[in-house]
Every structure is written in C-alpha cells, then in structure tokens.
Structure 1
Amino acid sequence: MATQRLNEQAEGVFIISATPFAADGSLDLQSTDRLIEFYLEQGVSGITVLGMMGEAHKLAADESAAFLTRVLQRVADRVPVVVGVSNAGLDNLFSLAHTAMSAGAAGVMVAPATGLGTEAKLLAYFRQVFEGLGESVPVCYQDYPFVTRSEISVATFNQLVTDYPQLVMLKHEEWPGLSKLSAVRKAARDGLRRVAVLVGNGGLYLPQELARGADGAMTGFAYPEMLVEVVRLWRQGEQDRAEDLFDAYLPLVRHEQQPGVGLALRKEVLRRRGAIATAQVRAPGPQLTATDHDELTRLISRVEKNLEAM
C-alpha cells in the first residue's frame, strides 16, 4: 500500500505519463522503466498514469493493469501516483480504481461521462462515483469539457467539495478558465474547504493560472523540468523569471498542444530525449511526416537558442 495519499495539500508538477509502445504497438515496459526514471530526474512532484493523453482508452484491461503495476513498482513510493480511471461503465471505473489503490496508488482521477448535458445529470453521476468508490479513495476531478462535453459550474463543483471529503483535487483545464479558477479560489477564501488545483492543457496558460491561485500543473509537456522550475520560481516570488523561462519554451508548448497530432509530437520529443525507445502512437493515431519532423527540429533548435540567451 502507498504511504503517500493524495490530499488537498498537493502541489508542484504531477506529470501526465505517456504510455510507451513498441513499433508493433505492444506495450513497451522496458521503456516504461526508463520514462519513469526520466520524469523523476526532472524533479516532478507526482506522476499521473492512464490519462487521456496516456492513450488509456486504447488499452485492454489487462494492459492497463500491467502498465499500472510496472509504474508503481518502478516509482516505489518515491512520489505519489494518480491513476486515471474514467470509464463509460461505472463498474469498470470502480474495479480499476480499487485495483489501483490496492497496488499502491495515491488516488484516482475521474472525468465526467461524455455528454451528460445538464448540471443535474452531472451532479447525479458524481454522487454515484463518490458513493461507489467510498471515502477511502482520494479523488481528483478532471474538468476537461473540450473532450468530455460535460461542463461543471463552480457552484456544482463546490457542492461536491462540501458533500464529499474524498474530493481533494481539481484538474483544471477548461477553455477559457481563468475566471473559473478565480471563483474556485474565492470560495475557499470565503470558508469552503480548500482543495488542490493543478492545471492541464499542456501548461499553455501556466503563469496566468499560477497567478489565479493554482498549486501547480498536471500535464504532459515533454520538458517537465520547465514546468517544475516555473512553479518553483513562482512560489519563491520570482514571477518575472518564471515567465521568462516559460516564454523561452512557449513555441514548443504551443506546438505540442495541437489537437490530434500533439501526442505524436510529445512522444517524438521524449524519444529524442532518450526517455522512450519509439514514438509509436497506438492505432488509430497520427504519424508524423518528414515535414513534421523537420518543423519540430527547428522549433527545438529555437528553444535551445532562447535558453542560451537567457
């Protein structure tokens, strides 16, 4: 069992792990070991697996279990591991969540079912989720309506925080979302239990989100050391230095955030950095062209020049 449990004090960078595949599309567990060590060497505060950008929806149940087990064994409780358990079927969600917690996960991440449509349906859905998981399973609510097409208001989120103490974190990645983040933080200042807020979207708006009260990031940018250092500098009161560093990487942050091809770009950068053996995205998925590779090479070169000039 994990000695670290996800709680409201979580902060820093919880990197969203890629899922390494071999060239034939099978799980690459040797690269998984290498990737986990790479993330830890960059100073991340936690690791999140089986997220949307981790291609969780493309894994069979036994593959999810094998990957999760390998990650937890490799991490060996050095940092907390959060497991994405979102699933169209609640029984499947509960099963993976309890498997993860029994194997040593620190908590689970749950996104709304796709297209719930109304606040009443969303609230009813999460009441089922929390009651089915039980109070012993810490939960991160993933608010990503761009994909789920299910939007939650601040009032409804606050109702869940009030009713379910196991809700300890918000993964905030709504577009636009800065005003929503401010409203969540205002509610905590006004007396609501404060939960951790980590932001996604590749870190695209990280400086502004930190200014609005975010505790860090939960995303998968291929240069996690930048995210780690930006959050560290910001917390030390060096906001200008944090933004200057962020700006140096911004061309790559933006490029990697493209819908559809972004994951292939992220995996290719990780491959070039020696973190994984291949940049394989499991089918159906994008494959980079020669032009894509040349474009990425030029962007990386420009980022390196930006860093040299700092």
Structure 2
Amino acid sequence: MYAVTVTPFKEDGSFDFERTKGHLDWLIEQGLQGICLLGATGEYQSITLEEHKTFVREIVPYIRDRVSVIVGATREQADDVIELVNNIKLCGADAAMILPSPYCHPAQDEVVEHYRYIMERTEFPIMIYNNPGSCGISFERETFRKLMALPYTAMVKESSGSIQVLRDVIEDAPENVSIFCGCDNLAFESFADGACGMICMLANVAPKCCVELFDAVYNQHDIAKGWEIYRKILPGLNALESFPKPIQALKYLVTRKTGNGGFCRRPRLELTLEEKAYVEDLMKADQLY
C-alpha cells in the first residue's frame, strides 16, 4: 500500500519541507509500505522542472531507506520527463510514475513510443500510468501488452475506473510487472481480482485502515474482514473520487489530524468553512481516525 502524498506548501507558495517530512514520518510510522511523491495529489502540475528536482533531492534521501519510493515524473515533453527521471534515479528512488503527455492526446502507437523513448534514455524502472481522466486517452488492451513488454516496465497503475480493464491487465501481465489499483473506490474489488498494490489518496489521512484493507483482502484472502474495513472507509474513498477539490480536502484533513497539511499552490484556493464542513460530513471524517 502506497500513499500518493500531498505536497505541503507555505502560504507564500514555497515548499514546506518541515511539514513534508513530518507528514512522511507519520505515514511511515503508520505502516505504509510505500510513498508516491509528486503525483497529481502532490500538485506536480504546479511546480517547475527545477522545483521538482529540488524537492526530490531533499525528500527522496530522507525516506528511501525506510520505505519504497516512487516519484511522479509526468510532463508534456518527453525530454523533460527524461530530465526528471534521471534526477529521480540519481537520488535513489525505486521507480518513476509516468502518464502519457497530458495535453496532446497521443495515439496508441505514440503512447508506446513515448515510454520506449524515455526508457532507452533513463534505464530506470517505470510505472506505466493509465488515467483517461488526466490525459484524455485510455490504453487499449494491445497497447498494455506492448507497454508491459518494454524492458523497464516495472509496474502498471490502472486508473480507468473499469474493473474489466484491470482484470485484463492482470491476466496479460508478465511475472515481472506488478499491477496496482489507481482508483480509491475500487480498492476492495481490485485486490480481490489480484492487484498486488495501490497508489492511494486516502492513505494520507487513514493509512492504517488502508494497510489493513490490503492485508485482509490480498494477503489473508479474508473477504469478510476486508469488506468490513472497506465499508468503514468507503465514504472517504468515494469522496476523493467525486469531490472537485480532493487535494484541498486531503490537506485540510491532514492538518486537522497532524498539523502537516500545509497550503496549496495557486490556482488552487483553500477550502471555505462551508466546504470544510461538507468534506467532513461527506467523508465521515471522524470514522477515519
């Protein structure tokens, strides 16, 4: 179980490394097996290439000896991705998570070529990321097969929202490629179908419950126990996949829990008092602690 972590900023928009480290320390203490930095939840779209590299240089060495570390490295231009991945590699992370170019809506053959080009120039484990909502395209089954045959494909994060797509990917995956759930509110179903990991938003605020869910369903094969845990946290999982400001919601709840949520970077604004109350009710926040 990996948390795709929020990135705490100071009110002036600079990185808040003190709160970042405090949040990561707490997550690791709660039993998470992995941390995914600078995914969409980490506001990677709102930082520059140099800021990304600075953050990775500061944070990856801080946690890499305690937990598995994946770092998001999505950018529109492949050569920018390569620059980021080579820095991630240098800093000692375990893998880089990459979406196809988010804005150009590439064709299926262009998707495969994008990853091949990056892998040839980095020689580093890559998490392939299928998320139609973020990049406007969905991988076809044959595209998944071609991507999983590339030499540095280590993992696939499947975020289409379709259990059938996930099943097909699991069925087609070679032994050396791990398949991860990428939809918070399909966690139970994904583990039951054989997904061996998850990149999870809710783990920022309910890490123990998320770890327990994965352990019950995937490791113990205890469906009844897993369903009981799942029902408890499902309001939070559903909310993060439907509420239009999931990053702000997470940062608010992290701050409410540990004080380490920090601020968002513009153009995101902090939640209003009414939105905070709505989030607490929608996510059944008191059940998460």
Q: Which amino acid aligns with 2:147?
A: L
Counterpart residue number, 2:266: 283
Percent identity among equivalent residues? 22
Gaps in structure 1 of 5+ consecutive residues = 1-12
Counterpart residue number, 1:173: 159
Q: Which amino acid aligns with 2:266?
A: A
Counterpart residue number, 1:238: 222
Counterpart residue number, 1:131: 120
Contact 2:6 2:261 in 1 (8 A): no
Residue 23 of structure 1: SS of its match in structure 2? coil
- Number of aligned residues: 285
Q: Which amino acid aligns with 1:173?
A: S
CA–CA separation in structure 2 for the residues paired with 1:141 and 1:306? 30
Of residues 177, 182, 192, the one that matches 1:211 is 192
Counterpart residue number, 2:35: 47
Point out the more displaced range, 238-247 or 110-119. 110-119
**1:264 is aligned to 2:252:** no
Of residues 66, 88, 93, the one that matches 1:100 is 88
Residue 79 of structure 2: SS of its match in structure 1? helix
Q: Which amino acid aligns with 1:248?
A: K
CA–CA separation in structure 2 for the residues paired with 1:289 and 1:25? 19
Of residues 177, 181, 186, the one that matches 1:199 is 181
Of residues 130, 146, 152, the one that matches 2:133 is 146
CA–CA separation in structure 1 for the residues paired with 2:192 and 2:118? 32
Residue 168 of structure 1: SS of its match in structure 2? strand
CA–CA separation in structure 1 for the residues paired with 2:261 and 2:168? 43
Task: List per-residue Cα deviations over 1:1-50 (Å, max 9, x = no partner).
Answer: xxxxxxxxxxxx11111100112222101001101101101211111111
Counterpart residue number, 1:7: none
Task: List per-residue Cα deviations over 1:203-227 (Å, max 9, x = no partner).
Answer: 2110111111101211221212221
Q: Which amino acid aligns with 2:151?
A: P
Distance of aligned partners of 1:296 and 1:275 in 2 relative to their CA distance in 1, 3 Å threshold: same
Counterpart residue number, 1:121: 110
